[in-house]
């Protein structure tokens, strides 16, 4: 946050990697600095510039899955690099990495190569799974639904495999509850990251509505429609067959008289499949959006406000995990509610 604010105050445009801030309390100052600077600031979660997510937003707004009620987001990995154990250069030292500048503003600590090169794994320097990866999933969910944020947040997890000195979990799940707003119906969001997943690694966001599902992967999306019939159904799993035969016949006849054959059927609609063009790169596109905005003055989608609304609930997952409590969030005011 300090570097971003300093740059904005010096009249510089800013591209800030996600999460936008290290601590929730830093968010409003960054937003205020952007507004006061009249400069372009874009946060670096590239899904916001993805053609897949643009298509998902279009299909969501068209009502293809009905009213949204659940989002399940998974970002699993199964390798050392995915768990942030990066290759360290042989000549690394306090001098070659300028350690004192790196820890400027913090309480002075001795040089530790892991805390420089594997910084994501330490609360003092990074934000762990929640701030680093949940934020991608939240940014994607927000750009599709137009959501501003959840009202309650809870997280759980454990450190079970990558025991390399890190002080953050390597398996984590977050649960967020979104209230009804003009942009969306109420829905629950679950976030899952597993750094030692036997799947070999999975990336999927599933949006479930009352009329279908939309599955988003790394190269496209698929919508499958399942709309309930108007008629509720009769027999099968209920107790109809245990009733006297005459009563069964009467109930069945009354049901048939009330609902037409068509009303007893589920509406059939073909799946929708969208694949991202082979030559498209959302990482490159995100930079293009930033540079074009600097040239034209056109606002970006993922500005400081959007970036904070994605980052803060994820950072709240860390607070929930370490304090073992539910965090309540005011998405409009962008602040933690005191219970």
pLDDT tens digits along 136-174: 999 999 999 999 999 999 999 999 999 999 999 999 999
The residue ranges of every structural domain in the chain are 2-224+271-337, 229-265
Write down the pLDDT at residue 338. 85
Distance CA 147, CA 149 (A): 6
The two beta strands, 68-75 and 187-194, are parallel
DSSP conformation class of 168? S
Distance CA 63, CA 53 (A): 15
> pLDDT tens digits, residue range 255-311?
999 999 999 999 999 999 999 999 999 999 999 999 999 999 999 999 999 999 999
Write down the pLDDT at residue 252. 97
Write down the pLDDT at residue 237. 87
According to DSSP H, which parts of 85-163 are helical?
99-102, 113-117, 128-129, 135-145
Higher pLDDT, 339 or 12: 12
Write down the pLDDT at residue 339. 72
Give the pTM: 0.95
> pLDDT tens digits, residue range 189-223?
999 999 999 999 999 999 999 999 999 999 999 99
> pLDDT tens digits, residue range 70-113?
999 999 999 999 999 999 999 999 999 999 999 998 999 999 99
Residue 239 pLDDT exceeds 90: yes
> pLDDT tens digits, residue range 17-69?
999 999 999 999 999 999 999 999 999 999 999 999 999 999 999 999 999 99
CATH class of 2-224+271-337: alpha beta
By the 8 A CB rule, do 159 and 168 touch?
A: yes
Q: Which residue has the tokens 């067959």?
A: 241
Confidence bin at 236 (pLDDT 50/70/90): confident
Using alpha carbons, list the distances in angstroms from residue 264 to 57, 213, 240, 250, 276: 32, 22, 17, 18, 37
- Rounded average pLDDT over 316-328: 99
Residue 250 pLDDT exceeds 90: yes
């Amino acid at each position: 946050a300090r570097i971003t604010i300093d740059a904005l105050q010096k009249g510089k445009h800013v591209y800030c990697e996600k999460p936008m801030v290290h601590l929730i309390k830093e968010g409003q100052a960054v937003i205020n600095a952007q507004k006061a600077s009249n400069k372009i600031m874009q946060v670096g979660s590239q899904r916001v510039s993805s053609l897949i997510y643009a298509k998902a937003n279009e299909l969501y707004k068209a009502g293809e899955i009905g009213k949204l009620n659940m989002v399940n987001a998974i970002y699993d990995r199964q390798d050392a690099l995915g768990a942030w154990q990066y290759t360290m250069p042989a000549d690394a030292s306090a001098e070659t990495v300028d350690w004192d500048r790196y820890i400027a503003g913090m309480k002075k600590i001795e040089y530790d190569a892991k805390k420089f090169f594997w910084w994501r794994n330490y609360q003092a320097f990074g934000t762990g799974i929640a701030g680093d990866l949940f934020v991608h999933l939240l940014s994607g969910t927000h750009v599709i639904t137009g959501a501003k944020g959840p009202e309650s947040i809870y997280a759980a997890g454990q450190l079970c495999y990558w025991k390399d000195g890190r002080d953050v979990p390597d398996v984590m799940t977050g649960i967020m509850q979104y209230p009804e707003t003009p942009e969306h119906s109420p829905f629950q969001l679950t976030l899952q990251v597993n750094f030692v997943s036997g799947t070999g690694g999975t990336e999927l966001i599933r949006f479930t509505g009352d009329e279908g599902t939309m599955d988003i992967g790394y190269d496209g999306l698929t919508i499958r429609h399942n709309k309930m019939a108007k008629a509720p159904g009769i027999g099968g799993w209920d107790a109809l067959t245990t009733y006297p035969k005459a009563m069964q016949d009467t109930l069945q006849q009354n049901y048939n008289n009330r609902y037409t054959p068509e009303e007893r059927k589920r509406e059939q609609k073909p799946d929708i499949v969208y694949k991202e063009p082979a030559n498209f790169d959302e990482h490159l596109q995100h930079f293009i959006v930033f540079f074009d905005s600097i040239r034209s003055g056109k606002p970006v989608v993922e500005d400081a406000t959007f970036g904070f609304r994605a980052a803060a609930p994820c950072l709240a997952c860390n607070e929930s995990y370490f304090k073992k409590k539910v965090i309540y969030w005011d998405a409009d005011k962008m602040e933690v509610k005191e219970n």
